[in-house]
Every structure is written in C-alpha cells, then in structure tokens.
Amino acid sequence: MKREYYSDSISNFITSSIDEIIGKLAISNDFSLKQTQRYAWVEEIRILQKALSRYQGSVYFEYSIPRMGQRIDVVVLIGPVIIVLEFKIGENEFTSYAIEQVWDYALDLKNFHESSHEHYIAPILIATNAKNITPVISITPQNDKLFFPIKGNEKSLCNIIDNVLVFAEGENIEPTLWEQGRYCPTPTIIEAATALYNGHSVEDISRSDAGAINLSKSSDTIDEIIKISKTNSQKSICFLTGVPGAGKTLVGLNIATKNFDKSNEMYSVFLSGNGPLVNILREALARDKVKQGKETGKRIKKGEAMSEVKMFIQNVHHFRDDCLISPETPPIEHVALFDEAQRAWDLKQTSFFMRSKKNKPNFDQSEPEFLISCLNRHPDWAVIVCLVGGGQEINTGEAGITEWIEALDKSFPHWHVYISPRLTDAEYGTGEILNTLSFHSNINYLDDLHLSISMRSFRAENVSLLVKQLLDLDKKEAQNTLEEVGTKYPIVLTRDINKAKRWLKEQARGSERYGMIVSSRAQRLKPYAIDVKSPMDPIHWFLDSKEDVRSSFYLEDVATEFHIQGLELDWICVTWDADFRFTDKGWEYRSFCGDRWNYIRKEDRKKYLKNAYRVLLTRARQGMIIVIPSGDLEDPTRNPDFYDPTYEYLKEIGFKII
C-alpha cells in the first residue's frame, strides 16, 4: 500500500520542478484541490528544496496516518533519522495544538510503524513567519530515540536538521526497507469508530500480526454468516467472545459501518447498553463529521451530524422501547450487533423494569429473549451478533451469557447458533446451560469466533492475563506474567496519590490521554478529593482537551467502572479503596453504608465487585499506576489494616514501588 501522495529521493526532489511535484500530489489527492492546499504545497516544496540541498535521503509528502484520520505534511529520511515535518504556512506562533499534532505523528510512527521502531524520530514544527529562536534539541526521558518537538521557521530548518544529525548516531536508514515496514496501529475505540465511519477498513487501522489476523478472520466469519443467512432465508445468532481489549467492539463497528445505508438489505445497527460508550462514540463521530466538513469546505451543523450518527450507534434500551411500541412490526434492521451482550438483563430485572417504568405488569421475558423475538419478527432472515466479554458483568441483573442460551433453547429452536468452543470457559459463566445446546440441530462451533489476544495495549498483550491471575490470587503465575509484561508495559505501585499524578504527567507525551479511575463503591477516598458520588460528564472527560477542567487530564474528576467499561486511556491511575481488600483468607468484599463498611455476602454482588476491579485494571493502553492509600489510624473507616495487606500482596507480586 502506497501511504504517501508523493515520494522520491532528495536528489530527484530538488531537481524536479514545483509544477511537476504538484501534479503528482494532485493526482493522488482524494479531494478536489483547493487553492489554499496548492499554495501550502508550493511553499513546502520551495522551503524544502532549499533546506535539503546538502543532504542525501528520501522525502515523502502527505504520509497517511489512518489511525488518526490524518496525513503528515512531510516525512524526510536522512542518515539514521526520521524527520517528521508539520508546516504552518504564514503562521508566526507555535500553538499547543500544533506542537501536540507533530508529536502525535512522531509517536504514531514510533509505536505503530515497524521499520520506525528502532530509529531516531525528530518531530519538527515549522511556523514559516515565526521569529528566529534557538531550537531546543533533546531526547525524551523514555529513552526510545524520540526527540521532543523542535520549533523553527523556514530560515532555521537547515540548522535544525544539522543539529539533529549531530545528536543522532547509528546506521543510515534504507528507504526501501523503511517503506516496506508494516504499519500496525492499535487505535482506541474512539479512533477506530471514527476511522471506520470515514471509510477505512479494519485492516487499515489494526495490527497485521497474529492478533489482528484473528480480528480480520472473525470479521470475515461473521460477514459470511450474514450472507448465508440472507441467501438461505434463515435466522442466525453468533457469539463472538474475547479477552478484555481483544477488539470485539471493533469487529462489531466494522460490520455496522459496512452496512449503515438504510436502502441496503444488509442494513445493520450497533447496539449497546453502555450509556457512556454510546454517548461518547456519537459525540466523537459528530464532532469529526463537523470537522471534516470544515476542512472540505462543506459546512455541516452539529445537529445534522448527530442525527445521522444516532442511526448507526443506538442505545439498546431505546431499540427495545421502539420494539415495544409496535409489538408485531419487525425493526428496519435485519442485522443487530449487541455490544457487551453479557450485560443484558435477566428475567427478574427486566420484569421489574417493565412493571415499574413501562406499565407492563405481566412482562415475562428476559432482555435477551425479548431482543431475539424482535428480530424474529422478520418473515425471511435476521442475524444477531452478540459481542461477549468474560468477567465483565458489573451491575445488578446482568445475567451473563446464560440468559441468551436459555432463550434460544426455550423459544427459538429454529435459529441457527454459531459459537466459539471457548464459550465454555469459566469466565463466561455458561456452566451446564451449554449442554442443552448440544442437542440443538443447528449449532455450529467456529474457532474464529474467539479473540484470544488483547489489542488494547500495543506494549504488552498479556495485561488481561496478569489481571486475571492477580484477582484469582494466583500469585506465582502473576509474578511470572509480570516479568514478561513489565519490560514494555510499566505498572507501578505507590501509596501517595500526588506521586501518582506526577507519574501520569511524566509518562504521557503528545495528546496521550491519562486519568484517574476508581471503583463506584470507593466511598472513603474523599480525604484525597475523590468523590465517586460527584457527577462527571463522560463526554467531556474522554473527549475534551488539556485546557478543559472537565477533561480526564485535569485529574480532578474520576471515572468509575460504569463510565470506562468498553473504553480506555493511554495511562491510568487506579486508586484502590477498602471495598475490595486482600486478607489472609482471600479477597474480602465490602460496601460502605452510613458510617461503616459492611460485608457483602451475596455471591452475585461479590462477582460484580471483583469484575469492577477487573475492568479498572484493564483500561490502560500503555501503563498504569496503582495507588493503595495508607489509611489513617484516627479514622475507623480508613484503618491502615484495611489497606496494608492489599499493598503487601501487590508488592509481593513484584510491582515496582515509587
């Protein structure tokens, strides 16, 4: 895949005419060539032909970064250095946004472009009309050959390159090998949704190793099930399982974005009961649509963008309510993708809700049974895709996958069922109920319906395994896994929340997002200015910039498992309260009521609390810090004995102490 609009050796670039280069750029450009873009290219070419006259290497214009939905103005390979150039033509200031932008480009290459991993990368921001300043050239403390962003103007560019080359050492980069390097991005779910919505394929925005191949195979398998169902006029349900961060939601979004045209018979809808996830994805897509409109000269109102997005991503409860209004009418969609299907309500919770909120006193179906019945109204064909996470049920009435299986066995024996053999694993909680399906005449076991490798962290794939071992009190195995994980994915432990905040800020580069997360039951963190009852807006927390006090960057508002399930940040601080505490008898489960901690005795509530910490500990893409407070002898609700054993347990596993 050719990632750039134009590339050539520096020597050929310098001797080519501006019109010739512009012509090649224009041919590759996907949009109509605006005068402002042509002028910017002319200026960039003029500046670079002068600045690069003494060097040998290669130059690349408009280098694609599909994960971010953007293109780098220019990449230049000189000696052992990859130079990333962002031009601000006619500008005289270096805005924080522009600095972050060029840094993000450099980080993208460093993290996701295989042939860039081991080389020096120098991000340079050129404001052509800026006053002369002495460029500051230094390597970031992470010691991964990435320079801090360098600021300059057109006159200083040549001098900056000279200084970068003096600073760097190593063998010259071979352009052909660099170009052939695989681009293996691991986007956040927000980035992935945006890229898919804008027409990129799942292959464009995912890694190309074994994990990503598994991702593509799963997408292709589900596509094939949909086609077979349509061709044979049959109704099918498939369960896609996977470890936390494996890409289940990405597969669902990929299928939905292929078929969100209402006129298409394959019209699909992506459904989730995760309110924060739905609202954040809708807002992100609407904002991006407005932004894309501005860049292409087509003004799009936010309301118009949001209206379109809402049809593509829907809250499952709104979908359910629409189906209640017309009990015989099938929904417009033939394909429904249910994210986090294990969180659907059981019969008791659904009946209670219908009785108290919908004035339906005799409702006798669980949420899975009712949702299947809605798609079953189609006279010809329908497909339900259940995206299933193991150990992710975190709220009252969330039934796991068992209710889906029971509904199929009880009411829909004619449906074709496609499952992974891994659905029998303990964390999916299916137990003996799967045995009933063994007599089902239309059951199909497909290995490609399980995603076994976490894609969330591009630094270490076994973070979810480490967390599972930690929570299951398998200390020896956790120690072994940490030895492998810890070399690339820092996990550190502290008792000082201020140290934790400093650590987060020191680790993050560019626009890498960081934030603090806690259990929703962590009610005795108030002395540290953490109040889980204080309202926060997930949209602002996840999407807004460092300048906004409501964003995660400010480290003032905290997210709980309910806000962050299905989402992630680059760097996370998990602050651990006494609700889930280690003892010599194992985990102890508590809830705070009035002025004291009370025991949690019900097994389902224990499961929800343990799963809450599973969610919290698997949200970071690049690393995390865990805070175990020291407690306070003068406060009986924060006795150090509530916290010290947990700290010692994690310390014994081997987490680094700061």
In a domain, 458, yes or no: no
pLDDT mean over 250-272: 80
- Give the confidence band of 617 by pLDDT, cuts at 50, 70, 90: very high
The residue ranking higher by pLDDT, 577 or 200, is: 577
The 10s digit of each residue's pLDDT in 275-289 is 899 999 999 999 988
Total tally of structural domains belonging to the chain: 3
> Does 12 map to a domain?
yes
The pLDDT assigned to 169 comes to 86
List the one residue out of 106, 261, 102, 288 whose CA is nearest residue 190. 288
Residues 55 and 155 in one domain: yes
**Within this chain, do residues 392 and 296 fall inside the same structural domain, yes or no?**
yes
Q: Please indicate, yes or no, whether residues 27 and 91 belong to a single structural domain of this protein.
A: yes
Q: What angle do CA 301, 302, 303 make, to 5 degrees?
A: 90
Please list, residue by residue across 238-275, b when 16 or more beta carbons sit within 10 angstroms of its beta carbon and e when fewer do. Answer: bbbbbbbbbbbbbbbbbbbbbbbeeeeebbbbbbbbbe
Q: Are residues 583 and 607 in the same domain?
A: yes
At residue 16 the predicted structure's pLDDT band, cuts being 50, 70 and 90, is very high
% of the chain residues with pLDDT over 90: 61
> Is the same domain home to 547 and 434?
no
Average pLDDT, the chain: 89
Tens-place pLDDT, residues 134-168 = 888 999 988 899 999 999 999 999 999 999 999 89
Among 451, 478, 508, identify where a domain stops. 451
Residue finishing a domain among 408, 428, 451: 451
Looking at the structure, tell me whether residues 153 and 258 fall in a common domain.
no
pLDDT at 210: 47
Q: Tokens standing for 278?
A: 């739905």
Confidence of residue 260 (pLDDT cuts 50, 70, 90): low
Are 249 and 380 found together in one domain? yes
CA dist., res. 129 & res. 136, Å (int): 18
- 593: nearest Cα among 605, 582, 575, 603: 605
The two tokens of residue 435 are 């045995």
Same domain, yes or no: 199 and 173: no
CATH number of the domain at 138, please: 3.40.1350
Indicate if the pLDDT at residue 121 is higher than 90.
yes
Contact 337, 269 (CB under 8 A): yes
How many helices and strands, by DSSP H and E, does the chain display? 23, 22
Range of weakest confidence among 157-166, 311-320, 394-403, 629-638 = 394-403
387 forms bridges with which residues in the sheet?
Answer: 240
Q: Is residue 287 part of a domain?
A: yes
Whether 150 maps to a domain, the answer reads: yes
Q: Which domain holds residue 477?
A: 463-657
Residue 165, burial from CB neighbour count under 10 angstroms (0-12, 13-18, 19+)? middle
Model pLDDT for residues 319-371, shown as the tens digit of each residue: 888 899 888 899 989 999 999 888 888 888 889 989 998 888 889 999 999 99
Is residue 344 within 8 A of residue 239, CB to CB? The reply is no
> Where does 401-556 show beta strands of DSSP type E?
416-419, 443-445, 450-451, 491-494, 514-518
> Are 350 and 474 part of one and the same domain?
no
Q: What is the end-to-end Cα distance of the chain in Å, rounded?
A: 45
Residues 232 and 351 in one domain: yes
Is the separation of the CB atoms in 374 and 227 below 8 Å?
no
Q: Assess contact for 620 and 567: CB atoms under 8 A.
A: no
pLDDT higher than 80, residue 423: no
pLDDT tier at 636, thresholds 50, 70, 90: very high
pLDDT of residue 422: 75
1 inside domain: no
Q: Are 388 and 241 in contact (CB under 8 A)?
A: yes
The SS3 call for residue 41 is helix
CATH for 388: 3.40.50
| 122 plus 193 within the same structural domain | no
Residue 56 located in a structural domain: yes
Does 77 fall in a domain? yes
Q: Are residues 145 and 231 in the same domain?
A: no
User: Is the pLDDT confidence value at 433 over 60?
Assistant: no
Q: Is the pLDDT of residue 501 over 90?
A: yes
**Domain-terminating residue out of 159, 180, 201:** 180
Is 572 among the domain residues? yes
